[in-house]
Amino acid sequence: MPTANVDVQLEDRSYEIHIGSGLLEQLGALCTPFIADRHVIVVSDSKVADLYLAKVEAALIPVAARVNSVIVPEGEQSKNINQCDQLWQLMIKMPSDRKSVILALGGGVVGDLAGFVAAGFARGIDFIQMPTSLLAQVDSSVGGKTGVNLPQAKNMVGAFWQPKTVIIDIDVLKTLDDRNYGAGLAEVIKYGLIMDADLFARIESNIESILKREQAIVTELIQRCCQCKADVVREDETETSGRRAILNYGHTIGHAIEAVYGYGEYLHGEAISIGMVAEAELAKQLSMVDEAFCDRQRSVFQSAGLPVTCPTGKESELIAAMTRDKKVASGKLSFILPTKLGDVKAVPSPKPDVIEAALRACS
Ligand SMILES: NC(=O)c1ccc[n+]([C@@H]2O[C@H](COP(=O)([O-])OP(=O)(O)OC[C@H]3O[C@@H](n4cnc5c(N)ncnc54)[C@H](O)[C@@H]3O)[C@@H](O)[C@H]2O)c1
Ligand SMILES: [Zn+2]
């Protein structure tokens, strides 16, 4: 199968996303322009390292000057500032310097963490993304948002730091469990909802092949999502014009669910699935979309095996968590809400009782 590449055009920070089958075997060649005769630090998590680290090291060693690997515990709990500190200390011991290159091998946790470690070390060293979860392949590895969580607020400390390249081998999805595969589909469906009605319809009509992980449809979805993200990031790299904020659909409520119920209780994709259901309900209460829109959206999430009901009993904590979200600007909470399939807009400060009613309506 031919590779399907996507360009992220950002002037001197531009890069290529390689998407295809068998790319792990070609990793050395694909990385040569960025790592030849340089020190490489592979950052991975315990689960992904068991599966792929030996192959990755074998591909890099003939090209790089030196290869060190660091393994962090798998899961969202690793995305914290103490973990960054440990990585920086280890990098000093290796030793690493301004020409060292980090390769993030793993899901969104490893990508966000290793990217932020790269952004901070020696005021910024090069890094490469090799995303291995569906969520990371369609979303988190592209666009340069890196960072870690604070106990009170998700992704609160971070930096915009673009990778030099992104290498997406779809074969690694074979070892991803169904729950995490489904969580990645939540972000795929999100792209359809926010900017590509045709993509949404493709998902609706191909859900069985998607759940069977058939190569052709999976490659198509990853390429289309990466293209959507590249387009948005090109227009608004640092989320200043408001365009990039459309990617936050479902995330205001989703991030609050993750924070209130403890990182790890809901997977990120599961939390934003509920978040999109609740935010569509909010849009309905504000007369922006009708019941049919909400039903159509909900049934796609359900057919992908994603949760669609909001847990009850902690509504006021959820609303308090939303106001701590880093999307709050000048004390004002805003939401990205749907207007029709494939289109969303920012809506400032809905009243807390309207938000609470929306949360209760989908509980
Ligand atoms: N930077 C961004 O723009 C952005 C966008 C969306 C999400 N995120 C972040 O991404 C994170 C979620 O990413 P995630 O869902 O990939 O979580 P994750 O990195 O924890 O990976 C999920 C699980 O799958 C395992 N795994 C990964 N690849 C595998 C493979 N090929 N085979 C078997 N197991 C594999 C991991 O070990 C982990 O247990 C969240 O922290 C979220 O905030 C960031
Ligand atoms: Zn997300």
Domain boundary among 156, 175, 194: 175
Q: Please state, in angstroms and rounded to a whole number, the distance separating the CA atoms of residues 100 and 108.
A: 22
| 233 within a domain of the structure (yes/no) | yes
Question: Is 149 annotated as catalytic?
Answer: no
pLDDT at 255 over 80: yes
Q: Are residues 230 and 128 in the same domain?
A: no
Q: Are residues 37 and 123 in the same domain?
A: yes
pLDDT at 348 over 90: no
Query: Residue 149 is part of which domain span?
Result: 6-175
Q: Are residues 92 and 195 in the same domain?
A: no
Question: Is 145 annotated as catalytic?
Answer: yes
Question: Is 38 annotated as catalytic?
Answer: no
Q: Are residues 171 and 188 in the same domain?
A: no
pLDDT top residue among 313 and 218: 218
For residue 145, the ligand closest to its alpha carbon is 1
| 217 within a domain of the structure (yes/no) | yes
Per-residue pLDDT, 113:
98
* pLDDT, tens digit, 9 for 90 and up, residues 24-57: 999 999 999 999 999 999 999 999 999 999 999 9
DSSP letter for each residue of 203-231: HHHTHHHHHTT-HHHHHHHHHHHHHHHHH
Per-residue pLDDT, 333:
83
| 1 within a domain of the structure (yes/no) | no
pLDDT at 311 over 90: no
* pLDDT, tens digit, 9 for 90 and up, residues 120-173: 999 999 999 999 999 999 999 999 999 999 887 778 899 999 999 999 999 999
Number of domains, the chain: 2
CATH code of residue 158? 3.40.50.1970
Q: What is the pTM of this model?
A: 0.95
Q: Are residues 150 and 284 in the same domain?
A: no
Q: What are phi and psi of 314, to 5 degrees?
A: -125, 35
For residue 341, how many C-alpha atoms fall within 13 Å in the half-sphere facing its CB?
Answer: 17
Q: Specify the range with the lowest mean pLDDT, choosing from 65-74, 99-108, 225-234, 319-328.
A: 319-328
Q: Are residues 168 and 191 in the same domain?
A: no
CATH code of residue 303? 1.20.1090.10
Of 134, 131, 100, nearest to 117 by C-alpha is 100
| 267 within a domain of the structure (yes/no) | yes
| 132 within a domain of the structure (yes/no) | yes
Domain boundary among 143, 160, 175: 175
Q: Which residue ranges have their beta carbon within 6 Å of ligand 1?
A: 45, 47-48, 51, 74-76, 79, 106-110, 112, 132-133, 135-136, 139-140, 143, 145, 155, 172, 175-176, 180, 183, 268
Q: Are residues 84 and 132 in the same domain?
A: yes
Q: Which atom of ligand 1 sits closest to the CA of residue 147? A: 1
**Ligand 1, atom 14: nearest CA belongs to which residue?**
108
* pLDDT, tens digit, 9 for 90 and up, residues 176-210: 999 999 999 999 999 999 999 999 999 999 999 99
Specify the DSSP element, H or E, that contains 162: none
Burial of 262 (0-12, 13-18, 19+ CB in 10 A): exposed
Per-residue pLDDT, 99:
98
pLDDT at 228 over 90: yes
Q: Are residues 62 and 185 in the same domain?
A: no
